[in-house]
Chain A
């Protein structure tokens, strides 16, 4: 069973649809026991960092997530709340990754919306994928580069398209909306 964390962020259904297409049963849940028992955990997300962190705190999941040991995938806002801090709503986040999350300069077209090239390092999440490969992005905030950056993308400036540290993986783009290459990445995660 794959646990998809429910914290009132959007896009949960899209992730579940993708898992269903791939033949993986999943549950949308905020229940600690269910999350701890899951083979894999996904933190999806479209929304605002401040309210996302509030929702995680309200259900106590801000304490649970850092202690999880199974493969964990944060998507989009899910990547940002795994970082240390987000400028969005001046929000301290979960701190799995040491990255800071900043807002794109407003003199460019923001949100960064659409397909863009992702260049990956040697990383199990990107196994079998060309580098660069195109993935679908929708975001106004980005994680800076760090030692945990496993893939980069360039929009206005280079930023972290994916992060990895131990069992924690995260993508700024939406693999569930990134056609065949996104499907391959999700499968790579599900087979970890």
Chain B
């Protein structure tokens, strides 16, 4: 769930951000419907250089009974501590980890690798998957695979892999890219960006080693309710809860 100004929002290819509802209401609805994990990304936190909305995290953590990852604007061990104390189970680092990879190590040393997710936003450009930061606004020139290997070496416990090229399009996950990354990763990879149908999840789990699939638009828009998606995956023999 992308958050901006205290509201759930969603864009296409990271632009054209529109309102998607009240984050607490949506969080409760998804937890009750059988979502396996909730990821909450304050997408404007880095840009506006303000702290993630700790009180909102507190309210959501108090209500939901599934794993809860929070990201956006985390620049120090203290920022991470504040969110974990507010009830987040994991923190997700993006721009600040690219800027200073040592931050991954510092947070992993303090709280364990299992609570450090490194979110990688990548777009396909000139035959390469390139890492972007600041909510997809700025290219780093880094090749995604090399950055991911470095992030894992620094102590990342999980990779949240988003294809900017697919995000919000509902045309399917970036399968080849996800396969390449997940095959080489020693930690779980969550694939994100492009989910538009049940078949897209089936293709993800049949064609890549991704441990999980993340979706937002299809749930926010009520296109595919979570129970329906899970039933579909069970019927095609993909192990789901």
> How far, in Å, is A117 (CB) from chain B's closest CB?
9
Complex contacts, A18 vs chain B, CB 8 Å: 65
CA distance A18 to B94 in the complex (A): 29
Partner of B188, one of A109, A178, A180: A109
Q: A11-B89, A176-B65 are in contact. Are A109 and B31 (CB under 8 A)?
A: no
Shortest beta-carbon distance from A179 to chain B in Å: 5
A13 touches B111 (CB 8 A): no
Verify if A69 is at the interface (C-beta below 8 Å from B).
Answer: no
Instruction: Determine the interface band of chain B, counting residues with CB < 8 A from chain A.
Output: 20 to 34
* Nearest-neighbor residue (CB-CB) of B187 within chain A: A109
Of chain B, the residue at the smallest CB distance from A175 is B65
B12 near A: Cβ within 8 Å?
A: no
Instruction: Give bound CA distance, A109 to B185, whole Å.
Output: 8
Interface of A is mostly: mixed
Is A156 in the interface zone, CB < 8 Å from B? no
Contact with B along A60-101 (1 / 0, CB 8 A): 000000000000000000000000000000000000000000
* Interface-located stretch among B44-52, B80-88, B143-151, B167-175: B80-88
Q: How many A-B residue pairs have CB under 8 A?
A: 79
Closest Cβ–Cβ distance, residue B107 to chain A (whole Å) = 11
User: How distant is A56 from chain B, measured CB to nearest CB, in Å?
Assistant: 17
> Interface extent on A, as a size class?
20 to 34
Cα A139 to Cα B86 in complex, Å, equals 22
Question: B157 and A113: CB pair below 8 A?
Answer: yes
Residue B211 interfacial (CB < 8 Å): yes
- Per DSSP, chain B at the interface is loop
B158 within 8 A of A: yes
B31 contacts across to A, CB distance below 8 A: 179
How many angstroms from the CA of A110 to the CA of B111 in the assembled complex? 16
In the docked arrangement, what's the CA distance between A145 and B188, Å?
25
Write 13 A-B pairs (CB below 8 A) sorted by A numbering.
Answer: A13-B85, A18-B65, A21-B62, A21-B63, A21-B65, A46-B89, A106-B186, A109-B186, A114-B211, A138-B114, A179-B31, A180-B65, A182-B65
Residues of B within 8 A of A (CB): 31, 34, 36, 61-63, 65-67, 84-87, 89, 111-115, 157-158, 185-188, 209, 211-212, 241
Q: Which residues of A contact B (CB under 8 A)?
A: 10-11, 13-14, 17-18, 20-21, 46-48, 106, 109-111, 113-115, 134, 136, 138-140, 174, 176-180, 182-183
Besides A110-B186, A113-B114, A134-B241, 7 other A-B contacts (C-beta < 8 A):
A14-B89, A17-B62, A20-B62, A48-B112, A106-B186, A113-B157, A177-B66
